[in-house]
Structure 1
Amino acid sequence: MKSRKFLECVNDNFHLQMIEEPTRKRAMLDLVLTNKEGLVGNAKFKGSLGCSDDEMVEFKIHRAAQRVCNKLTTLDFRRADFRLLRDLIGRVVWEKELEGRWAQESWLAFKDCLLQAQERCIPKKKKSGKIASRPAWMNKELLDKLRTK
């Protein structure tokens, strides 16, 4: 019963068993579990240790040779043209634009209009490294203030 619960837990959490052959006589007693395909490889048996009849298992844990740099694109509000944004949104005759639409349709129409204006008025910038993991609103000035307190 407990072994069934364990196997269900392994499956439910998408873990992979890397040992595929018995490690003691005909029983599979050793487990090498991973949650990522390709992370563990070259699992092989290396004979027994001392007088034990258990097989030693050797495996390699693969890691990326080079850290992947996550490049994130965010809006650059410092270089935004808010006058143009206000003008573009202000030109829309909302009564006419939203006439006969239900709430969801109205929201989607408004959102589409806003995103088009945003595309024209707010340039994008690329973030990478440590900066990419920070929220867009957390700038250097705010970080400095937080560190001094």
Structure 2
Amino acid sequence: MGNKQEELEVCVRLQGQDLIAITETWWDSSNDWNAVMDGYVLFRKDRPARQGGGVVLYVREQLECIELRLGVDEVESLWVRMKGQANMGDTVVGVYYRPPDQEEEVDEAFYRQLEVASQSQALVLMGDFNHPDICWKSNMARHTVQEVPAEH
């Protein structure tokens, strides 16, 4: 994001989105000074202890929201609950980055987060899923299932 921050701010001023999700920010504490955008609340999760990754969600200030903690730190995701307007229910918004070489245990941890988040009346999930086994023709993905040994 380093050299794209100014471009992002111009696009936001022109288009005025309520939500902006970004994956693979490559941010760390040295980016704190330029990550904030006027008129938006910033939620971010940097990749701990190694380079790359990271997710960000900008939410327009007028929208009431809180960050949710839905599990383990190894999953590059963040979740926010936005208060519903008028007679509408709340909406849970998630941003997720899945590296192409992610271990199956981290995939499973994300599935558990998604299960909790999907209990909301409305769910919006954005991200970069990098799933190597997706067949776009059939809209199917291979998922390994652990076999349970038969009882004797």
Task: Give the TM-score of the pair, scaled to structure 2.
Answer: 0.28
Pick the structure with more strand per residue: 2
Bigger helix fraction: 1
Give 1 or 2 for the bigger CA radius of gyration: 1
TM-score normalised per structure 1: 0.29
